[in-house]
A and B are shown apart, each in its own frame.
Chain A
Amino acid sequence: MFKCTYACGSDEHQIARRSFLGMTATGMGAIAGGLGMLAQPAAAKKLASDQKRVIVVNMAGGLSQLESWDPKPGTPTGGPFRAIPTSVPGIHICELLPETAKQMHHLALVRGVNIHENDHGKGGYKMFYGRPKTPAAEYPRLGAVMARTLESDATESLPGHINVTPGGGGGRGNDSAYLGPRYASISLDNGKPPQNSKLPDSIKADTDGRRQAFRRAANDAFLQRRRTAFTDAYTHNYEQALQLMQRRDVFDIEKEPQKDRDRYGSHDFGRHCLLARRLLDSGVTFVQVTHTNYDTHNENFNFHLEQLGEFDTPFACLVNDLAERGMLDSTLIVVLSEFGRTPRINQNYGRDHWGTAWSICMGGAKVQRGATYGKTNDQGTAVTEGEVNHAQLFHTYLQAVGVDSEKQIDIDGRPVPLADPAFHPVKELLA
């Protein structure tokens, strides 16, 4: 059973406490030792070899499986696009993804997804939380679970759960439920560094050092008597924020070589994929990049042409770079949506919401390379083989990075399943 870091007396907690006490005892110097493990070469080396990471590309609005991973050309539902061969003999994907097709030997397609949901919010919840939304309980989002279960000393100095969003203002998400705010997402609005991560010009470094020392002293006094999981989280967040401010260049893709910026492209999604690579390189556990918008009730084909034209090259660059850098075995890649799109083409050349028979793409980590799992019928209207749902996929993501998804996490003495215990991982997808 995984144990939480709250005041539960676990070994893990003791380590965190020692680290914390060390920091408070010696000030900023010790903080660098406590959360700044990446500054140490040994830790960085360990990260490169052992640390598991996850990159999720969220095709917001509902990517059409027929215009991406499961084309049906020449059928009444197939639309105008053709299928093209990939680097894996026998696997064809839509012609809108020519660069991704060259990376198919690193990837796997899950073509029999059925989540029984056609609503954006509910579908998204199922896909990102691995369970249906219910008023009876709150569950942590995939990124929070990954940040928690893959946490190590080597990952401490940066947030473990980052969402790179096209917009939205940034800030911290409320998506970690019982795992606590430490694992909540931090959103990077259009790839910009986290909000308020730059020291105001009016505050000098030595002034800031003195006020942080005062904060720590006050905290220390308080914690002698009133330490709780929440105070731990607050303290951790402060210290992590300080580290983050010192490592702000992690969010600056201008530090990446010009040739890489050229390869990924200057548009938002290209920049965001390059930022994702940089964050994963730097030890961030979970990065989600959102590409929008695929909710194409109208002119589905024109808009997929436009959107996937933007998606294809940077995504393929990211997959290729992870492979070339030796990070693929340790990095899980997932391309998902809240659902797919209807096989039926509506009167506006659109496709509507469709959670019944659609596809996602996975890759890296322990995912079988160059595989397909599941099938739909000739016109894509039903799954005929290998049907999987959101909960099975959630299990599979965790298993792919070496987390036993069928174990439980200890929350204040209460065992909570990491993933929906009614389902199991799709073993056929795992090497």
Chain B
Amino acid sequence: MDANPQATHIVHQWKCESPLINCRFEPAGKFVFTATEDFSIYRFAMADGKRTTLAGHKSWPQAIAFSIDGRLMVSGGCDDQLIWWGTGDEQPKPIRKIVAHRGWIRALDVSPDGKLIASAGNDSLVKVWNIENGELVATLTGHAKHVYSVAFHPNSKWLLSGDLAGDVRQWDVQSGKLERQFDAKPLTTYNSGQRVDYGGVRTIAFNGDQSQVVFGGLHKAPNPLGAVNEPLIMRFDWSSQKLLRSHTIKGVKGIIWGSAFHPQGFLVGATGGSGGGFLGFWNDDKDEEFHKLKMPNTARAMDLHPDGIQIATAHHDRCVRISFMKPKT
């Protein structure tokens, strides 16, 4: 069945014990996992919403990623740790713990060939690990600010990392060398009055034919401390690095906290902030969204289900919400 973004509606909302930070579907789509402010990760069975608590982090878990076969889950948190878990275990327990960064781990991604997992964090480093045994494969240095996002190119040859300064670096995974950089500085600002850096590359996503890459975050931030800013997704041509689109959501204040290309070609993003939570949908023919859906609460993350119909969103009101991109039945 084709997805119908204009028909998107919320079907489930499952409660955690504290505000959510992140959410991810495991590759088979049987579970959605949420990272929360009570240091726990919660697993919800998509079939019935059954909740299982995964305890192991000593601070907020921030990032979740899965092995390609879905057997392993790796989480990274503000306790600087990577933790390996058995995704489908009756009661998942930590399999391996590694103090991976000096400072929060903000982002994780698994290489499409299933061999590697990349982590990024507040020590301005990107690290590449063997996902099976947890061995450190490479440490990529060069970012000047905290690294907010990391994503492998679908060909597994390249790795992208984006930081607070809007510097997106393309690394050669094999050699660890910097290949080139994308300029996503519109996603960051230094407010001289408030004396703060703000923004950063919060999301990275590739389209299906690998011809385009998007970087999400915020812009138009006259008052960072007051959450006055607007969401922005920058769409680049992969080969030429030409900026193709600057996607916005009309009338919405907030930040792009998650983005993904749908197999049908459109782009989905979740925003949260002072303007509340929204799902936005964009095509590549114009900057503005072709559809948006107001959520009941601010959104902090999103993920696309493997079925191409369901979207998970993480919210401050302790709920993970599952929306369907199809008409109500």
Chain A bound to chain B: yes
Q: Is B196 an interface residue (CB 8 A)?
A: yes
B224 touches A298 (CB 8 A): yes
B contact residues, total (Cβ < 8 Å)? 30
- In the bound assembly, the distance between CA atoms of A176 and B298 in angstroms comes to 47
Chain A 17-29 near chain B by CB (<8 Å), digits 1 or 0: 0000000000000
User: Is A350 in the interface zone, CB < 8 Å from B?
Assistant: yes
B272 interfacial by beta-carbon distance below 8 Å: yes
Are A347 and B316 in contact (CB-based, < 8 A)? Answer: yes
| Other-chain residue from A61, A82, A298 in contact with B58 (beta carbon distance below 8 A) | A82
A306–B196 touching, CB < 8 Å = yes
Count of A residues near B, CB < 8 Å?
26
Q: Report if B122 contacts A (CB, 8 A).
A: yes
Whether B19 pairs with A345 at a CB distance below 8 angstroms is yes
Interface string of B76-88 (1 = CB under 8 A from A): 0111000000000
- Indicate whether B226 reaches chain A with its CB closer than 8 angstroms: yes
Given the interface contacts A80-B60, A293-B195, A345-B37, does A61 sit within 8 Å of B19 by beta carbon?
no
What chain B residues lie within 8 Å of A296 (beta carbons)? 225
Chain B residues near A295: list those with CB within 8 A: 194, 225-226
A267-307 interface (Cβ within 8 A of B): 268, 292-293, 295-299, 302-303, 305-307
B227, A348: Cβ atoms closer than 8 Å: yes
User: Is the beta-carbon distance between A348 and B273 smaller than 8 angstroms?
Assistant: yes
- CB-based nearest A residue for B316: A347
Flag whether A81 is at the interface (Cβ < 8 A).
yes
Q: Which residues from A are CB-within-8-Å of B78?
A: 80-81
Residues of B within 8 A of A350 (CB): 227
Tell me if B194 and A293 are in contact (CB < 8 A). yes
Interface string of B264-275 (1 = CB under 8 A from A): 000000001110
- Does B246 belong to the interface (CB within 8 Å)? no
Closest to A295 in B: B225
| B197 interface contact, C-beta 8 A | yes
State the main secondary structure of chain B at its contact with A: loop
Q: Which of B179-218 contact A (CB under 8 A)?
A: 193-198
| Cβ distance A359 to chain B, nearest Cβ, rounded Å | 21
A381-413 CB contacts (< 8 Å) to partner B: none
CB-contact partner of A348 in B18, B59, B194, B298, under 8 A:
B298
- Complexed CA–CA distance, A166 and B38 (Å): 37
Chain A residues with Cβ below 8 Å from B324 are none
Known: A297-B227, A298-B227, A347-B316. A74 touches B39 (CB 8 A): yes
Which B residues touch A169, using CB under 8 A? none
Q: How far is the CB of A328 from chain B (nearest CB, A)?
A: 29
- Further contacts, 16 of them, CB under 8 A, given A82-B79, A307-B196, A345-B37: A61-B225, A73-B59, A76-B38, A79-B60, A80-B78, A268-B195, A292-B194, A293-B193, A293-B194, A293-B195, A299-B224, A306-B196, A347-B19, A347-B297, A347-B298, A348-B227
Instruction: Give me 14 A-to-B residue pairs in the complex whose CB atoms sit less than 8 angstroms apart, sorted by A's number.
Output: A76-B38, A80-B60, A81-B59, A82-B59, A293-B194, A293-B196, A293-B225, A295-B225, A296-B225, A299-B224, A302-B198, A303-B224, A345-B19, A347-B298
